[in-house]
Amino acid sequence: MTLAAQAPIFDVGGDNLGTIGIRVVVLPRKADAHDMFADTDEPSDLSPDELLSEVGPSPIASYLERPKTGRLCCVFLVNGQRQEALDNAFIVQHLGFKYLRKRMMIIVDVDGLRPEYLGELMQGSRQHFYQGRVWEAISSRLIATP
Amino acid sequence: MTTTKSSPSLDSPDLLLTLLSLKTTGDVETLLSRLPVVDDTAYLWTDTDPAKGWHAGMLHWVPVGRDRGNAGRIQLAGDPYNPSAERLVNGMEAIIELMRRTELLENPEAPMPQSPREAVERYFRLPRLDMIPRTKDKEHRRALEETLRDVRRQLILRLEFDKKLKEFAVEIRDRGIGQPPARIHETLLSLGRTDKAEKPYLIGVFGQGGSSTYAASKYSLVVSRRPAQFLDGTPDGIGWTIVKKVIPKGRRDPYYAYLASLPDGRVPSIAIDNSRVNEFAPGTLFRHIGYDFGRQGSAVARTLFYALNHVLFNPVLPYDLYALKDKPDPMHGTAYRLARQTAQLASKGDKSHLDKPFQPQMVV
């Protein structure tokens, strides 16, 4: 695999903010997963030397920040680091996928934004994006993506 | 002025080993009581005349970033996990920078990588980490996994817990570019002074993210050593310091300060002819002592695994996590773990999952 194949497109021309990359992952319901793997509450990809997961309420529980209470299932990344995250209310209210809310993760890579717009988003705390016009544009694009 | 019970030499052969053995606040306070340290109430640093009141040969508490108003830029984190992630990112940058400097030694005309991902692909032959489980060719995937294992050893986060004192220590150790002693105050201990913006292959922008670990800790030990071939004319040696929060009496503007050996802010160092010098290989160590996770015990180790994987969701480089045990957890980020899960589901013929990348979406 080449870097070009992975890289977001930076120069798309015209009056735009740049691009975002989106990946959506939906895992099987727990019952389905158990049928497939005849496993317990551990994720099937658990390697032998990995920490045991806690019992989670959904198939994505062990991929959240805190398996028992975490709901940050929609993440926004800069250089692979989470800089903003939303809980599954976003999936229900804005995407309309009520029945996927416990199984869906959305990964949004914003490295393709033009540097000046990325600079508007980033905060010194590195824990949230500034909820201004660039954020609104990203959210709108995400909601509108078919 | 508080000084010395036995006043060991700052260049004593065993000082390095003593520093590297510090694990608890008690350890640090015992060492501080033995070193020639001027009390933080007896010397107050000012940017206009830092030499005023300075006692030659003694260590003094100087504000991090040489800014008495630094608390606002250090106390930025809202939870105990993000600061550790920021320190790991600093470590990744130090490893990439070492590779870049090595490349320039061999070829001064080598073009600069245009992103951290490009740098990692060039120097480590690693793609974006979540692409590895999706690699169809088994041999290629196995080779990438082996590379991951080798690279992980260059960056380690170690969590330790003193059950008796109920104290955590978080250590982040990288085998990256390190800093020469004469520059530590301008780099590792600076705030907002960074040349990263000129280097598109590095990650940080503000030059202060990792500093939030100071606010989560009672004390922070910093030790750094640069490989001899990259000293840029500065003296060789191992620089070290200790960071703590200072709360001036009768005032409500705390600040974070480190031990300096000179009024210009330079830190103490251990000479390279010290017989113990090889106990510390080039790179940087931050050990945050008395780290406040808000709770105690093994639950912290468990949460740390998930939280770090979530914050560093698809990190540019992998790392090893030793969370209260001797065996590491390989840390590749949640994106990698999800990709591994969906690849396994696909291989078993599951039709009820989805792993869908979209074409880059233009934002207007």
**B103 min Cα distance to partner chain A (Å):** 19
Contact A28 B337 (CB under 8 A): no
Reply yes or no on whether the pLDDT at A33 is more than 70: no
pLDDT digits (tens, 9 = 90+) for B30-52: 999 999 999 999 998 999 999 99
Reply yes or no on whether the pLDDT at A71 is more than 80: no
Question: By CA distance, what is A5's nearest residue in B?
Answer: B127
Assess if residue B196 is contained within a domain: yes
What pLDDT does B275 receive? 75
The band of A45, judged by pLDDT with boundaries at 50, 70 and 90, is low
Q: Which of A6, A72, A127 sits opposite B131 (nearest CB)?
A: A6
- Establish if B322 touches chain A: CB-CB under 8 angstroms: no
What pLDDT does B298 receive? 83
Percent of chain B having pLDDT more than 70?
Answer: 95
Contact B360 A6 (CB under 8 A): no
Cβ neighbours of B207 in A, within 8 Å: none
Contact A23 B356 (CB under 8 A): yes
- Establish if B330 touches chain A: CB-CB under 8 angstroms: yes
Cβ neighbours of B81 in A, within 8 Å: 65
Report, as an integer, the average pLDDT of B154-162. 97
Cβ neighbours of A15 in B, within 8 Å: 364
What pLDDT does A65 receive? 86
Assess if residue B217 is contained within a domain: yes
Q: How far apart are CA B253 and CA B64, in angstroms?
A: 14
Selected residues 153-192 of chain B with any CB under 8 Å from a CB in chain A:
none
SS (H, E, C) chain B: CCCCCCCCCCCCCCHHHHHHCCCCHHHHHHHHHHCCECCCCCCCCCCCCCCCCCCCCCEEEEEHHHCCCCHHHHCCCCCCHHHHHHHHHHHHHHHHHHHHHHHHHHCCCCCCCCCHHHHHHHHHCCCCHHHCCCCCCHHHHHHHHHHHHHHHCCEEEEEEEECCCCEEEEEEEECCCCCCHHHHHHCCCCCCCCCHHHCCCCCCCCCCHHHHHHHCCCEEEEEEECCHHHCCCCCCCEEEEEEEEECCCCCCCCEEEEEECCCCCCCCEECCCCCCHHHCCCEEEEEEEEECCCCCCHHHHHHHHHHHHHHCCCCCCCEEEEECCCCCEEECCHHHHHHHHHHHHHHCCCCCCEEEECCCEEEC
Indicate the average pLDDT of chain B. Answer: 92
Which of B123, B313, B350, B352 best tests the A interface by mutation, with the highest count of A CBs <10 A?
Answer: B313
What pLDDT does B9 receive? 73
Rg over alpha carbons for chain A, rounded to the nearest Å, is 17
Reply yes or no on whether the pLDDT at A38 is more than 80: no
Give the residue extent of every domain in chain A: 3-27+69-144
Ranges A57-71, B103-117, B275-289, B346-360: which has the least confidence: A57-71
Q: How far apart are CA B104 and CA B99, in angstroms?
A: 9
Q: How far apart are CA B275 and CA B137, in angstroms?
A: 49
**B249 min Cα distance to partner chain A (Å):** 28
Q: Which stretch of DSSP H or E encloses residue A83?
A: strand A81-86
Q: What's the sign of the alpha-carbon dihedral A133, A135, A139, A141?
A: positive
Report, as an integer, the average pLDDT of A111-122. 92
**A115 min Cα distance to partner chain B (Å):** 11
Cβ neighbours of B341 in A, within 8 Å: 27, 43-45, 63
Per this entry, what is the length of chain B?
364
Percent of chain A having pLDDT more than 70?
Answer: 68
Cβ neighbours of A84 in B, within 8 Å: none
Q: What's the sign of the alpha-carbon dihedral B42, B45, B48, B54?
A: positive
Q: Chains A and B: how many Cβ contacts under 8 Å? A: 182
Contact A24 B356 (CB under 8 A): yes
The band of A53, judged by pLDDT with boundaries at 50, 70 and 90, is very low
Cβ neighbours of A45 in B, within 8 Å: 337, 340-341, 344
Phi, psi of B161 (to 5 degrees): -135, 125
Neighbouring C-beta atoms of residue A97, cutoff 10 Å: 16
Assess if residue B231 is contained within a domain: yes
Reply yes or no on whether the pLDDT at A11 is more than 80: no
Q: How far apart are CA B160 and CA B170, in angstroms?
A: 7
Q: How far is CA A111 from CA A4, A9, A87, A132, B152, in A?
A: 14, 9, 21, 18, 24
Q: Which two tokens stand for residue B237?
A: 């040696």
Residue ranges making up the domain that contains B73: 15-82+158-301
Report, as an integer, the average pLDDT of B223-240. 94
- Rounded to two decimals, the pTM is 0.90
Q: Which of B85, B301, B314 sits opposite A77 (nearest CB)?
A: B314
Prediction ipTM score: 0.90
Contact A6 B315 (CB under 8 A): no
Contact A28 B127 (CB under 8 A): no
What pLDDT does A6 receive? 47
Q: Which of B155, B280, B273 is nearest to B226 (CA)?
A: B280
Assess if residue B210 is contained within a domain: yes
Contact B358 A21 (CB under 8 A): yes
Per the structure, the count of domains in chain B is 1
What pLDDT does B8 receive? 58
Cβ neighbours of A141 in B, within 8 Å: 361-364
* Residue that wins the pLDDT comparison between B307 and A5: B307
Cβ neighbours of A112 in B, within 8 Å: 360
Selected residues 78-107 of chain B with any CB under 8 Å from a CB in chain A:
78, 81-82, 85-86, 89
Assess if residue B59 is contained within a domain: yes
